[in-house]
Structure 1
């Protein structure tokens, strides 16, 4: 299932920004755009205020800001896996706007949908940020696919099994919590289980995967992969994981090695882990090549 990402319509309408020529949006147009479905969204239009932004005053206030500041949240299209909003821009005459409507809208959106990955086009100009955003978006699409049709406990077990290491790398506490919930899935109402699993999964992926947590997940994968390798290969893989722990190798080095050995040895459990393959392979390589310091 292709991820569905909401995007501020002004980003798509302004070719000078969205055609890939602008460094902030090259990732959106040239890389991520090949793998997702964009859902253009105009906040003012959805709230009945009209499709065009009003003229900014020097404070950056508009009717949209007033509407949102009062606590209202515009409705968003159903079934989104992420949202990209426009970053703050200078106000009239280059004077910074103090309360940009896009920023307020982004805050309200995050509050109303706490598990929805929300970012702006400027933040996504940073390689590490767009990698985290892409990982969450594709994870959300897989979860949406699972619960988009009638499901049975064994379907949830299969989904959770594929995502175990990914959840562990982000949030060990919720990894254990999710494991207990999945184990009890057959004895609880499906709707109740689905709602709780969505919350645990969303909160876990929203947590940062630190170097220590990543190393822990790598060692867990190594337990499955290493037993099928000879001593020389085992030491090589283990050495890469330890070098990553010390900050001497980028994240991608041990991950690529683990993935290659898992596939070569026919280890389906490890090879199918979303931790090793969180997004399409071509997109993943571009993300890693852009950010080798993770």
Structure 2
């Protein structure tokens, strides 16, 4: 399981997504996925930077103006309303205060909170090609480059949803490891448990990080650990595919080839092929492999986070 801790991982979230009526028009953008489904598994910390810096409800909308890489947040009616610096300062402040979160879900398209493709305008009101990032989100994420972050709309995609929540649980497990103390043994054991998850997301980084730890020698784990974790989180951002999942399933099935009958082996290969061709979801071959693992226990396979990187009741692998 992702964590031995009974406490829920904390996720910061744009307050409007939890149903808080804090938007410029006095409304909200409640995400039922977040406010109803995921609350059983995560502790959400709602944040509205625009209200926090003193803008009222309702209020004049703001928009991004100028260079998409370094825009200003200005009032749409009164362009002399410039809240760029207050939003950036609040992003820095919250990056310091929210040191124990394991993820952040931002409101998409928001000039304060949007992560990507936020509309940016010329001073004359015409849109700039491409898009930018919300001022608050930019300042916050700059301080936490390894933190799993996502926009609410993208969580409607089953693959992106599973990817984000997997990363949240990995982040939480790493924070727990840091609390217990980072030794060479602890770092090696951590990597051992996450090897097949990493292989599914980024086969090349699977080899690179294995070599990094294999050549650890007498290097200080306190120095090596942060580099390892940054590279791990970057690798996990890449979504696993049916091809890479199939590769991992084949590797795992190899542990049972001496233990199960020829008929059972044939069934395993048949189900993995069905998954590869899109006939069944990932949960089907995984369930069969876990069945054989119960019948023929293998300590190395049993410890693999890949088999259950998030609570089973979330059913995240039923749709991928």
Indicate the TM-score class for this superposition, using the shorter chain for normalisation. 0.7 to 0.9
Q: Is this contact kept in 2: 1:225–1:270, CA < 8 A?
A: no
Give yes or no for contact 1:23–1:125 (8 Å, CA) kept in 2: no
Tell me the residue number matched to 1:32.
38
Structure-2 separation of matches of 1:261 and 1:15: 50
Name which of 47, 58, 61 aligns with 1:56. Answer: 61
Instruction: Give yes or no for the alignment of 1:113 onto 2:144.
Output: yes
How big is the alpha-carbon RMSD for the aligned residues of Structure 1 and Structure 2? 3.3
* Unpaired segments ≥5 residues, structure 1: 91-96
- Counterparts of 1:42 and 1:70, CA distance in 2: 13
Question: Which residue among 101, 104, 107 is the counterpart of 1:80?
Answer: 101
Q: Which residue of 2 aligns with 1:192?
A: 223
Residues 11 and 27 (structure 1), Cα distance of their counterparts in 2 relative to 1, 3 Å cut: closer
Question: Is contact 1:24–1:122 with CA below 8 Å preserved after alignment?
Answer: no
The alignment partner of 2:92 has SS state of: coil
The yes-or-no answer on 1:260 pairing with 2:286 is no
CA contact (8 A) 2:201 2:241 kept: yes
Residue by residue, what CA displacement relative to the aligned partner does 1:165-185 show, whole Å, maximum 9, x if unpaired? 000111111111211222234
Larger Rg: 2
Distance change in 2, residues 1:148/1:218 (3 Å): same
Q: 1:276 to 1:57 in 2, by over 3 A?
A: closer
Give the whole-Å Cα distance in 1 for the aligned partners of 2:86 and 2:238.
Answer: 27
Is this contact kept in 2: 1:83–1:118, CA < 8 A?
yes
- SS across alignment from 2:275: helix
Is 2:292 the partner of 1:288?
no
Q: 3-state DSSP class of the match of 1:38?
A: strand
Change (3 A) 1:240 1:72: same
Partners of 2:195 and 2:41 lie apart in 1 by 24
More helix by share: 1
Could you tell me which residue of structure 1 aligns to residue 205 of structure 2? 174
TM-score (normalised: structure 2): 0.75
Residues 73 and 108, structure 1, Cα contact 8 Å, conserved in 2: yes
Q: How does 1:11-160 map to 2 (within 5 A)?
A: 11-12=17-18, 14=20, 25-44=31-50, 49-50=53-54, 52=56, 54-56=59-61, 61-62=74-75, 66-67=84-85, 73-75=91-93, 76=95, 77-88=98-109, 98-99=119-120, 103-160=134-191
TM-score under structure 1 length normalisation: 0.81
Deviation at 1:31, TM superposition (A): 2.3
C-alpha spacing 1:105/1:70, structure 2 compared with 1 (3 Å)? closer
Q: Is the 8 A contact 1:25 1:125 kept in 2?
A: no
Residue 228 (structure 1) aligned with residue 259 (structure 2): yes
CA deviation string 1:95-115 (max 9, x = no partner): xx9449984444554454332
> What is the aligned residue count?
277
Q: Determine helix, strand or coil for the equivalent of 1:208.
A: coil
Deviation at 1:230, TM superposition (A): 1.0
Deviation per residue, 1:66-89 (Å, 9 max, x gap): 338989953421022110112337
Q: Which residue of 2 aligns with 1:3?
A: 9
